[in-house]
Amino acid sequence: SGLDLFFSREVKGKAGEDLVEKQNAEVGQMPVVAGEAVAYGYEAEDRHFVRAFLGKEKPLLTFHDGLEVVRLLMAAYMSAEQGKTVAYPAKGLDSFVPAVAKGTWNPRG
């Protein structure tokens, strides 16, 4: 079937996302997907990254593209915390630290 999975309560190590996933799968609360890396992963993107890293092709995205994504995300966090639309680029964005990153975010308001 191509399915590589084990179910066990005897998972060793620090509790993390992998442990939660295994526990959810064990009690039938999580679907099992064969070939998960292909189904949900970024196989083509990973292959491109490796080829670019090896110097076989030019990267499609640059450091500056990644920086722009981070700026957009920080503006979204800022907007959510302020409860209003913010201009882009938002004033004070370079020094903004979202509540979730500071550990002060309360999902219940």
- Digits of tens for pLDDT over the chain (109 positions)? 455 555 555 656 666 555 555 555 556 666 667 777 777 778 888 899 999 999 999 999 999 999 999 999 999 999 999 999 999 999 999 999 999 999 998 878 7
> Contact, 3 vs 37, CB < 8 A?
no
DSSP-based three-state secondary structure for 10: coil
> Contact, 11 vs 22, CB < 8 A?
yes
Give the domain ranges of the chain.
1-59, 63-102
